[in-house]
Amino acid sequence: MTVRAALVVCLLVLTSEGDPFSAQTPAARRTRGTASIAGRIIHADGTAAEGARIAVYAVREGAAASIAGTATSAYDGRYEVNGLPGGQFIVGVTPLKAGGFGGDTTRPRTTPVETLYPGVADRSRAQPITVFDGVAAEGIDVWLAPAPQRFSISGRVFWPSDAEVTNLAIEYGSPDAQRRGIWYVSDPGGLFTLEGIAQGTYALLARADTPSGPLLGLASTDVTLGPVEDVRLTLRTPGSIEGRVIIEGGAKLPLNTLRISPSHALLKLSPVYPVEDSAVSDAGRFALPHLLGEYSLDVHGLPTGWRIRRVVRAGQPALNNHVFVNAGDRVTDVEIVVGAGST
């Protein structure tokens, strides 16, 4: 054997025995380093923490933790760290700015403190997360210190005894739209329990489908020092809003190019049930079905510089340009006055 041939044999042996990846199939090689950890960063009061710095530490026996990846939380608190191999990791989060409870800047400012998953400041109490090669680890939510207070809201949804109800769900949220979610009710008797609820005021909007159309129920509650129980939501036939668009100031505009959509004033609804908007007729008429509660009305298709000047109901300006609809009510006396200019 020549010297050159001997070197080639030695290199082949070293490659096959010394490279830990050589024995793996091409599919296995592709999955390494393609796992991820994702979730949300949440202040102790339940609001999303935007701009928080996330560090993912690799946990290895007998070795100091090292950073395996970083990320920054988005406006809704969502984060995702990619390119991770399989193994165990600790997630640490440092908020954008320090403050009091839930980032309350009215309290004395302190140095931002790193919070470790699931919501502790002591590294020895951090819970390691097991990540598998090529598999996304989702729902790794971190509640920032101080320790969050999470409660529950439980109760029952009622509906007419002759109604055939399906797809029963409860959308809940705060008026500031910072805390919200949706809960699907599977109990045949309408019993429900909303988990992981932070302190604050909540509106609950229940919706169910029936052969004759949707039913809606609305209630509010306040979470303070403990769980809230025996909340009752009664499904009823929803109401509607009918009215017309009026142009102020003598300007001309083809009204049939406009659309009207309602926005609930008590909570921000999810995309699960798309907003039922309305076209505007040549005469300016519109009709919005399946409503319950307080709504603002948005006009889409206005030219640049145009805006809603006021909303009028029964000849009187509506408070905050909002219209309230009770169950079964057909509100027919709404006028949306639009025009150009800022006054």
User: Where residue 200 sits, what CATH number does that domain have?
Assistant: 2.60.40.1120
Say what the pLDDT of residue 61 is.
Answer: 78
User: Where residue 139 sits, what CATH number does that domain have?
Assistant: 2.60.40.10
- State the average pLDDT over residues 150-157: 92
The residue with tokens 């509106």 is 203
Displacement of CA 89 from its chain's centroid (Å):
26
Model confidence pLDDT, tens digit, residues 303-325: 999 999 999 998 899 999 999 99
- State the average pLDDT over residues 124-132: 90
Residues 27 and 13 in one domain: yes
Residues 191 and 247 in one domain: no
pTM equals 0.60
Residues 42 and 135 in one domain: yes
* Contact between 151 and 197 (Cβ < 8 Å): yes
Count of domains forming the chain: 4
Final residue belonging to a domain, choices 98, 122, 143: 143
As given in the structure block, the two tokens for residue 16 are 């096959």
- State the average pLDDT over residues 101-125: 69
Say what the pLDDT of residue 6 is.
Answer: 47
% pLDDT > 70, the chain? 84
pLDDT band at 30 (very low <50, low <70, confident <90, very high): very low
- State the average pLDDT over residues 100-105: 42
pLDDT band at 343 (very low <50, low <70, confident <90, very high): low
Residues 128 and 187 in one domain: no
Residues 243 and 296 in one domain: yes
Final residue belonging to a domain, choices 234, 250, 276: 234
Domain of 302, in residue numbers = 239-340
pLDDT band at 94 (very low <50, low <70, confident <90, very high): very high
Final residue belonging to a domain, choices 143, 166, 197: 143
Residues 227 and 163 in one domain: yes
Name the phi and psi angles at 275, rounded to 5. -65, 130
Residues 43 and 117 in one domain: yes
